[in-house]
Structure 1
Amino acid sequence: MGPYWKPDMPSTPSDWIDVRILSCPAASEFLGLLDDPDVGGVWEDGESLHLYWPTLRWSSERLDRVRLTLRRLRGEEQLLPEIRIDSLPHQDWNRQWAESVKPLRIGRRIVIRPSWEAAEVQADHVEIVLDPKQAFGTGHHATTRMLLEWLETLALDGATVLDVGTGSGILAMVALRLGAVRAVGFDDDPVAVECAQDYARDNRFGEELTLGCGTLARGERFDLVLANLDAATLTSLTDELAVATGRRLLVSGLLVDQRGEIAEGFARAGLYQGGVRELDGWTAVEFLRADACDGPES
């Protein structure tokens, strides 16, 4: 399981409503639009998104709000994903949550694990200790996994990296472990940035990693730019991302049918499409500068 944040389930007995959304697109954007302070926890389980409300706070109005938020994301033309609602008895949520989070192996060398679970690693492995908190990007979701696997294939020795919408900071941290000399990650969510900064300290990163809250501004170019963002945000940042890209841009967070429009926008901004990867209905795309000497990676 991949929690977006640990369920804040109280220790006093209480029953819960589990609202499961099948094949929820742009989960992080959905949570922001929903903006419901009574949600007790949110979990990603494969292709499903689970939201938990205390039984006493659940209502048909809240279900309508969930559907309305999905409609805002999907648009009027697309069908809404299936929603399943179950009642859960009171349990020891903290114990169950800890037991469910296990070391995650991605690609050939990347290992992401919680602090309470040891993992067998080799000398050439990249190990990141990450206790899931209220920040997107644990490596479980297909959009993050594709970029992590892609990073492992690149020659990053001496590279500079920009991670736009850094979330937990996992992409920037792995890039550094794979040979990059400097990484900058930023997010417009101060809670995510605080989590990412904690992770950086836990994993003993220093001045080579800069994490902060802000937005993308025209200025410095980076050898590699990473952007795990929803389609609407990528569209709004196309020009800024192109300017920041010195050699290669890797984007994720797109549904397969959104790739064409995004590629057209980056082509107008001076970047051409390289490699493409797909996983679980999501796609990640490589864009290269026209004057970059490297060919596309696949």
Structure 2
Amino acid sequence: MRWVEIAVEIDREAIDAVANLLQNAGANGTVIEDESETGSGEFFEIPLPVPAEKKETAIVKAYLPQNDLIGEKVNFIKSQLEVFRQFLTIGPGEIALRAVEDEEWADAWKQHFKSQQVGRKLMVVPSWEQADESTGNINIYLDPGMAFGTGAHPTTRRCLQVLEDHINGNEVIYDVGTGSGILAIAAAKLGAAKVTGIDLDPVALGIAWENVTFNKVGDKVTIREGDLLSVAGEQADGVIANIIADAII
């Protein structure tokens, strides 16, 4: 499959709004290139070397399937940027498009995905690295591939912290929009007895199960295709959904 990389140059103030806009347009995640140390994104953020005269703009990138809907989605992004100008400093708002292949999109970000502490004990570790198992941390080995969820985005990080605060052991948990499976795996490693990760994206389902298997929690975690209403078969102690509000409401 071919993809279209959409790169939007904006004022730093608008990073979060534009990242959310691109995800609402259908992107599984965003890449943020920023000369400052601030900003956040999924799949990753890239702090660039700071020059003598620091630019006031950043670039937010996203990847959408190259199909008949791409023109409509680009027009939607352009129109929303103009709406944002009414209450945000958008800056240039220039959009650049580039065609990329599956492999380029899925692998290019790996050089920027590093181990990161996301809670008191939770540590997210790239599956191609080996964590120090003597630290007492709970290590979640992850290869997100083309699915949402590395722990870098503030919402993912906050969900992980909520799980760490509220899972005491033997809970039944549903993870709606499981993406890479990061939250389902975290719940299992924190002590939940049964976790069901749910997603509509077949690519995400495959990646999530690979991560579940790699983390050796397949005895606790099941990955299912569908939505909560079609999959839920028993009462749960908790439901976690790190997805955009429109999908929940």
Shorter-chain TM band: 0.5 to 0.7
Kindly state the Cα deviation for residue 147 of structure 1 after the two structures are TM-superposed. Answer: 0.7
Equivalent residue runs for 1:278-297 within 5 Å: none
Alignment correspondent of 2:52: none
Q: Report which stretch shifted further, 166-175 or 93-102.
A: 93-102
Alignment correspondent of 2:8: 19
Kindly state the Cα deviation for residue 104 of structure 1 after the two structures are TM-superposed. Answer: 1.4
Alignment correspondent of 2:156: 144
Q: Distance in 2 between matches of 1:173 and 1:128?
A: 7
Q: Which has the higher contact order (CA 8 A, sep 6+)?
A: 2
Q: SS at the partner of 2:187?
A: helix
Alignment correspondent of 1:66: 74
Alignment correspondent of 1:43: 31
Say whether the 8 Å CA contact 1:30–1:70 is kept in structure 2.
no
Q: Distance in 2 between matches of 1:73 and 1:151?
A: 35
The Cα RMSD (Å) is 3.8
Say whether the 8 Å CA contact 2:22–2:62 is kept in structure 1.
no
* TM-score (ref. length: structure 2): 0.67
Are 1:209 and 2:221 an aligned pair?
Answer: yes
Alignment correspondent of 2:166: 154
Flag the 1:67–1:155 CA change in 2: closer, same or farther, 3 A.
same
Say whether the 8 Å CA contact 1:165–1:229 is kept in structure 2.
yes
Structure 1 vs Structure 2: percent identity of aligned residues?
34
Kindly state the Cα deviation for residue 132 of structure 1 after the two structures are TM-superposed. Answer: 2.7
Q: Report which stretch shifted further, 17-26 or 147-156.
A: 17-26
Alignment gaps of 5+ in structure 2: 34-38, 42-59, 99-103
Q: SS at the partner of 2:62?
A: strand
Are 1:234 and 2:248 an aligned pair?
Answer: yes
Kindly state the Cα deviation for residue 27 of structure 1 after the two structures are TM-superposed. Answer: 4.7
The structure whose Rg is larger is: 1
CA deviations 1:209-268 (Å, max 9, x no partner) are: 100111122642101111112222221xxxxxxxxxxxxxxxxxxxxxxxxxxxxxxxxx
Kindly state the Cα deviation for residue 98 of structure 1 after the two structures are TM-superposed. Answer: 3.3
Alignment gaps of 5+ in structure 1: 1-6, 10-15, 34-40, 236-298
Equivalent residue runs for 1:1-298 within 5 Å: 18-20=7-9, 22-23=15-16, 24-25=19-20, 27-32=22-27, 43-44=31-32, 46-47=39-40, 49-51=60-62, 65-69=73-77, 71=79, 82=90, 83-85=93-95, 97-122=109-134, 124-217=136-229, 219-235=233-249
Kindly state the Cα deviation for residue 80 of structure 1 after the two structures are TM-superposed. Answer: 7.4
Q: SS at the partner of 1:199?
A: helix
CA deviations 1:11-69 (Å, max 9, x no partner) are: xxxxx874346322265432259xxxxxxx9525534631379xxx9xxx95x843514
Q: Distance in 2 between matches of 1:231 and 1:78?
A: 22
Q: Distance in 2 between matches of 1:173 and 1:180?
A: 10
CA deviations 1:180-205 (Å, max 9, x no partner) are: 11101101111111110111111112
Letter of the 2:208 counterpart = A
Say whether the 8 Å CA contact 1:188–1:215 is kept in structure 2.
yes
How many residues are paired up?
205
Q: Distance in 2 between matches of 1:87 and 1:232?
A: 26
* TM-score (ref. length: structure 1): 0.57
Q: Distance in 1 between matches of 2:222 and 2:166?
A: 21
Q: Distance in 2 between matches of 1:201 and 1:74?
A: 45
Say whether the 8 Å CA contact 1:26–1:230 is kept in structure 2.
no
